[in-house]
Amino acid sequence: MASKISRRKFLEKSAIATAGLAIAPSSIVRGKNASYQSPTCSLDSSSRCSGWQSQLVQITPDGSIVYVADKTGNAIPDFSHAGYGGGNVPLPTNIPVVKTISPIAGDNTEHIQAAIDAVSRIPLSDTGYRGALRLEAGVYTVSSPIHVSESGIVIIGAGQESDPAQNTVIRRIGTLRAPVIQIGKSIRGGSFATEIADTRTSVITPRVIVGAYSLDVENASQFCVGDAVVIVQPSTKAWLASVDFGGAFPERSRNNTVWQPGEIDIRYHRYIVAINRNTITFDAPVYDNLNRQLSQSYVAKFDDVNVTRNVGIEKIFVDIETAGGDSEEHARDCIVFRRVENCWARCVTTQHFFYAGILFSNGSTRSTAIDCRAVEPRGIRTGARFYNFCVQEAQLILFENCFANGGRHSYISNGCSLDSGIVFLNCVCDNATDTNEGHRRWPQALLFDNLHVINPASKTTFNRAIGLYNRGSWGTAHGWAAAHSVAWNCVVPEGARIVIQKPPGAQNYGIGGIGEITGQGPFEASAGYIEGANKPGLVPRSLYKAQLNQRIRGL
């Protein structure tokens, strides 16, 4: 018998659920030539309206959400913590302009950098900002990276279109491959790995289930509300065995590799919001099951050395000058966020990168890209290329209302087990040659929410327009490339597929939307949970918006 559990009660349960819905979907749900019609609800509606609801996510009359767990305790988690400020804080719109510049003849690199450095010397206000630098309309030619290393700086242009008469165009020239704009600092020691010495305490909850906000530790006395921490599950041999070593055994792998202990550690960056004896509650959930029999997890204080916060970039067109063809003698990325928190890109266009248009990486968290474009990549169309919007060792990142053109993996998680809580909301993928996907080695809690794929450019894209699946021996033994992840109300063209497969001990979900949703991928695996393909009117239309609305209302 199905077990319907409110989110609040569900999260109070720290052990395995004893009853639930046994999920055994058919291996394939074939699409029909049905036209797509938006439901009568708005995108962010969480109330009942005309349409249908998933068996796993039910909206009650008061607007709260009821989730249904399977027999092992897996249920769809809360994605609403993705984005600036943890999702429930609006992006700033009134940061005062403290300096304004216009383009000069020749190389503008030092011109822009000097202006940024001047703003960085202004003391931080109580709100965490120094002020905004305004770049007037025109072309700013630059030959090397622009760095924003200090917190509290917002760069605002005149517009994101290509016409310099009305917009701010930063045009990168030369053969240097470093990013056009780099926000934040790089550190040694690994993403989310800067623990404060001697602060570890073991998790004693036998099994922390996916979506849980609380867990018990051996000794919570050294922690305080507000502390930044990491929750860590080491990738032991026992845990690796439980996930079939990623489904990437040496005999299946082109480079004779297999997942090894210590390579797939799971780390979550969180803040403590409550402590009750040795029970700690965090600001966002964990996105995998932490089983003490397989791996001894722990909590430790996080050393936020060199974290850059509250930096935004807005209304700018970033253009990379290239030699054309397959040449890659130009900048690799347009905008890279490294080890940042509460940062954003808004109304930004990026063009002619060969790796990423906008990349959140190296321990970035709680940040947003909204109303942005990443178009016309230039270089060799091959592996490790053409990732228009990308996360790589980042968490709780929101991409909203974005447009990608001409990419391979246009919307992608490429940071292995350190990627989690990533949301692609109401975005468009145009003319891509490969899959929108989790890419490799156990990222968790990826949500493709109302992603529209148009004009697929290759057979590969038709086979896998969106993928939450096993990539087996591909690449560096990519194996399971998503766990506890959801494709919600997505739309792919006739003949294209959304591939949903079930990882060992976890689940992936394909719910609603238009297109063929199937469990048949490039590597053999069981189908994930598939429901409601080509059935217009899924309520809520947006899972992320409904979850966020519920959290804001305190339901």
- Per-residue pLDDT reduced to its tens digit, 166-190: 999 999 999 999 999 999 998 776 7
pLDDT of amino acid 249? 63
- Residue 530 near residue 500 (C-beta atoms within 8 A): yes
* Percentage above 90 pLDDT, the chain: 84
- Residue 155 near residue 312 (C-beta atoms within 8 A): yes
Task: Please state which of the ranges 27-41, 153-167, 260-274 shows the lowest mean pLDDT.
Answer: 27-41
pLDDT of amino acid 17? 27
Tell me the average pLDDT of the chain: 90
Take residue 342 and report the two structure tokens written for it: 């509460």
- The DSSP symbol for 317 reads E
Closest residue by Cα to residue 23 from 77, 73, 79, 78: 73
Q: What is the mean pLDDT of residues 260-270?
A: 96
Torsion of CA 203, 209, 215, 219, to 10 degrees: -10
Q: Is 166 exposed, middle or buried (0-12, 13-18, 19+ CB in 10 A)?
A: exposed
Query: Phi, psi (5° rounding) for residue 549?
Result: -60, -40
Assign 157 to helix, strand or coil.
coil
Q: Tell whether the model's pLDDT for residue 76 goes beyond 80.
A: yes
pLDDT of amino acid 10? 28
pTM (global) more than 0.75: yes
Torsion of CA 265, 269, 272, 276, to 10 degrees: -10
Assign 404 to helix, strand or coil.
strand
d(CA 304, CA 312): 19
Q: What is the mean pLDDT of residues 516-525?
A: 94
- Residue 311 near residue 156 (C-beta atoms within 8 A): no
Where residue 332 falls among pLDDT bands split at 50, 70, 90?
A: very high
Where residue 256 falls among pLDDT bands split at 50, 70, 90?
A: low
Q: In terms of DSSP bridges, do strands 28-29 and 516-518 run parallel, antiparallel, or are they unpaired?
A: antiparallel
- The DSSP symbol for 445 reads E
If you search the block for the tokens 């060969």, which residue do you land on? Answer: 354
pLDDT of amino acid 528? 97
Take residue 41 and report the two structure tokens written for it: 């609800």
Contacts of 187 (CB under 8 A, 6+ apart): 194, 305, 306, 339, 362, 363
d(CA 405, CA 386): 10
Q: What is the pLDDT of residues 109-164, one digit of tens each?
A: 999 999 999 999 999 999 999 999 999 999 999 999 999 999 999 999 999 999 99
Q: Tell whether the model's pLDDT for residue 9 goes beyond 50.
A: no
CB atoms within 10 A of CB 87: 23
- Residue 444 near residue 266 (C-beta atoms within 8 A): yes
d(CA 193, CA 362): 10
Q: What is the mean pLDDT of residues 321-334?
A: 96
Where residue 476 falls among pLDDT bands split at 50, 70, 90?
A: confident
Is the four-CA dihedral 376, 380, 386, 391 of positive or negative sign? Answer: negative
Where residue 32 falls among pLDDT bands split at 50, 70, 90?
A: very low
- Residue 389 near residue 357 (C-beta atoms within 8 A): yes
> CA-based Rg of the chain, rounded to a whole angstrom?
23
